[in-house]
Amino acid sequence: MSAFLEVTDLRAGYGDARVLHGVGLAVPQGEICAILGPNGAGKTTLLRALSGMVRVRGGIRLDGTDLAGRPPDALARLGVAHVPEGRGTFVPLSVEENLRLGAFIRRSRAEINADLERIYTYFPVLRKRLKQAAGSLSGGEQQMLAIGRALMLRPRLLLLDEPSLGLAPLVTQELFRIVRAINEEERTTVVVVEQNAHIALGIAQQAHVLETGRIVLSGTAEQIRADEQVAQSYLGYRV
Amino acid sequence: MSGSTEVTSKAASAETPGRGRAPGRAATVRWRWIVAALLLAAACYAPFQLVPFHVFQLSMVLVYAVALLGLNLLVGHAGQISLGHGAFFAVGAYTAAILLQRVELPYPLTLPVAAAVAFVLGLALGLPAMRLRGLYLALVTLAIAIFLVPLLKRFEPLTGGSMGLTLAKPAPPAWTGLAEDQWLYFLALAVAVAAFLLAHSLLRSRVGRALHAIRDNEAAAEVMGVRLSFYKTLAFAWSAMFAGAAGCVYTWVIGFVSPDSFVVTLSITLLAGLVVGGLGSFSGPILGGLFVMFVPGIAQDVNDAAPGVIFGLLIIAVMYVAPTGLAGLAGRVTRSIQKILRKE
Ligand SMILES: Nc1ncnc2c1ncn2[C@@H]1O[C@H](COP(=O)(O)OP(=O)(O)OP(=O)(O)O)[C@@H](O)[C@H]1O
Ligand SMILES: [Mg+2]
């Protein structure tokens, strides 16, 4: 019985520089998977590999479909949405234009409008900022916009790269609560990369610790949380 | 679950980008159309007040404005560069000239053919070229412009070689009662208005949104399903199509084409004109058209020996005073006038 997202022996890098040396993962449908690990471990590269932004070798299967080697726009069409590190909003465009661009591959106007409403219920603050340039939003608001935009794709797989980056603790908590709500209500499978292990383990079912391009530890969120040694050596602090 | 998310707006940076959409955007859009309508009225009135030479000059401004509308799609809206726009202008001009002289096609038909030829050529060249970025793309497009002149000289039976081709200008129909220069002017104006509306509706479509996404953040656009190579190539082909149409009207207005009218300088002047006029802006192509038409002449008047130097200095001066181009400057001036009016 194979999982919804199945990654086997994934290798990837930039030019000659290998970053991932054989990563394996299996995420069941509707679950949240947290990727933890120190700076430079290859977490961002792993997400880039999953969304086609770097060249890969090895296997990536989403619900049985082979994703490896396809370009990002093709993966978007297959339901992979990537919220990149540092958000990647379209700074000069308005909030609404950003959200509508998220639905670029979809045609039905009625559905898109309905989805916009749905996203405003998750992120009420976006409704207040609709006509404002994305670049003029606060860091937290931009992160919400980036996630909202990714949801406009109606993703089957949502990739989040350090959503807490640069956010105040309270905002981070709120954001993760919303990610959890989205995951529960839409049954969207999520892979989230986080430095803030505590908060990520709080919403995830399973977690993996990545170090220098290899997974050095995997388990349920509880197992990883309980592992004192992990806390010390990989996460750098008590969780 | 939807508890209000109060985010402290410490990061709501003051530096809202110039292209940003402020709350007053709907009002500015309405203003733009009012201004455009007034300009159009003035443009219809002008040829009856001016001497033929000035009417001719205005026709040329419109011709360049159409070419710049195309360049603006590519550079201002899709964020790509082209140093070869003049080549497509020349292709349009020559297509029209050859059709008029060798095929004796009625002149209105030369316009769609010239535009189509330039579009197809843009597609063919854009397909490989648009895989490149930045300086590489600049270099390849420059090469297109450089290759064109010897090519035109070479196919003498078709192009008339270095001598070029001389043609009869479209004659005004008797019912209009217009002089030739006025008729040509109105032809150019009609094409310019049509081109303007076309560019506007292209930009408001799904494709326009894709281009803006590519310009602002290529990687993010791609992960949202925008096929970069497809849309970039399309933008290149469109920009070529506008240049081709402009070239065709150029042939109508001037009645003469020769390779020396389309040297590399034309491409560079067009790009400079667009940047000076205002990249990605509504009025940039018109202001740029004025620039391309008049500034090289002014430079010549100031110093006959080194017009290039004066031309360069003028560009530097404009960019220093108005880093977002003349359109940006005009916008700033309008906004401060509005502010003063509101205070009173
Ligand atoms: N665009 C790139 N070109 C070349 N090398 C890169 C590029 N991006 C990342 N790398 C290298 O790949 C390695 C892994 O980087 P990656 O961004 O995946 O790490 P990370 O785990 O996301 O780190 P962080 O927690 O700091 O975000 C690093 O050694 C980095 O230098
Ligand atoms: Mg990273």
Give pLDDT, residue A98.
Answer: 94
Give pLDDT, residue A197.
Answer: 87
CB B247 within 8 A of CB B93: yes
The C-alpha atoms of residue B82 and residue B159 are separated, in whole angstroms, by 25
Q: What number is the average pLDDT over the span B35-59?
A: 93
Give pLDDT, residue A45.
Answer: 96
Q: How many beta carbons lie within 10 A of that of residue B260, not counting itself? A: 11
Give pLDDT, residue B4.
Answer: 40
Structure tokens given for B194: 């049509």
The size of chain B, in residues, is 344
Query: Per the CB < 8 Å rule, is B223 touching A123?
Result: no
Q: How many beta carbons lie within 10 A of that of residue B201, not counting itself? A: 10
Can you tell me which atom of ligand 1 is nearest the CA of A210?
A: 21
Of the candidate ranges A174-178, B5-9, B287-291, the one whose mean pLDDT is the lowest: B5-9
- Residue B34 predicted with pLDDT over 90: no
- How does residue B25 score in pLDDT terms, banded at 50, 70 and 90? low
Give pLDDT, residue B20.
Answer: 41
Q: Considering CB atoms only, which of B7, B20, B212 is closest to A135? A: B20
- How does residue B16 score in pLDDT terms, banded at 50, 70 and 90? very low
- How does residue B5 score in pLDDT terms, banded at 50, 70 and 90? very low
The C-alpha atoms of residue B143 and residue B233 are separated, in whole angstroms, by 17
Q: What number is the average pLDDT over the span B39-57?
A: 93
Of the candidate ranges B15-24, B45-54, B85-94, B166-175, the one whose mean pLDDT is the lowest: B15-24
> B225 CB near a chain A CB, below 8 Å?
yes
**Which chain B residue's Cα is nearest to A167?**
B7
Q: Considering CB atoms only, which of A52, A91, A139 is closest to B17? A: A91
Among B134, B92, B133, B104, residue whose Cα is nearest residue B266:
B92
Per-residue pLDDT reduced to its tens digit, B158-201: 888 889 999 999 999 999 999 999 999 999 999 999 999 999 99
Percent of chain B with pLDDT over 70: 92
Percent of chain B with pLDDT over 90: 61
Name the residue type at position A3: A
Domain residues of chain B, as ranges?
A: 51-343
CB A128 within 8 A of CB B250: no
| A193 CA to centre of ligand 1 in angstroms | 13
CB B180 within 8 A of CB B171: yes
Give pLDDT, residue B27.
Answer: 65
Closest residue by Cα to atom 9, ligand 1, is A45
Give pLDDT, residue A231.
Answer: 64
Helix (H, G, I), strand (E, B) or coil at A60: strand
Residues 6+ apart with CB under 8 A from B116: B241, B244
Give pLDDT, residue B221.
Answer: 94
- ipTM > 0.90? no
Query: Per the CB < 8 Å rule, is A75 touching B223?
Result: yes
The C-alpha atoms of residue B75 and residue B182 are separated, in whole angstroms, by 32
Give pLDDT, residue B332.
Answer: 84
Per-residue pLDDT reduced to its tens digit, B106-147: 999 999 999 999 999 999 999 988 888 888 888 899 999 999
Parts of chain A with a pLDDT under 50: 238-239
> B212 CB near a chain A CB, below 8 Å?
yes
Which overall architecture, per CATH, does domain B51-343 show? Orthogonal Bundle (1.10)
DSSP state of B6: -
CB A211 within 8 A of CB A41: yes
The C-alpha atoms of residue B61 and residue B37 are separated, in whole angstroms, by 18
Distance from chain centroid for Cα B73: 8
> Does ligand 1 have an atom closer than 6 angstroms to the CB of A45?
yes
The C-alpha atoms of residue A191 and residue A50 are separated, in whole angstroms, by 10
The C-alpha atoms of residue A174 and residue A178 are separated, in whole angstroms, by 6
- Residue B32 predicted with pLDDT over 50: yes
Among A19, A47, A21, A45, residue whose Cα is nearest residue A34:
A47
- Residue B86 predicted with pLDDT over 50: yes
Helix (H, G, I), strand (E, B) or coil at A57: strand
Give pLDDT, residue A235.
Answer: 60
Name the residue type at position B90: A
CATH class of A3-235: alpha beta
The C-alpha atoms of residue A96 and residue B224 are separated, in whole angstroms, by 15
- What's this model's pTM, rounded to 2 decimal places? 0.86
Distances in whole angstroms, Cα of residue B256 to Cα of each of B58, B108, B164:
18, 17, 7
Task: Tokens 């030739």: give the residue.
Answer: B180
Helix residue spans in chain B (DSSP H): 25-45, 52-71, 85-98, 107-129, 134-154, 156-159, 180-204, 206-216, 218-223, 228-254, 264-277, 284-302, 307-321, 325-343
> Does ligand 1 have an atom closer than 6 angstroms to the CB of A39?
yes
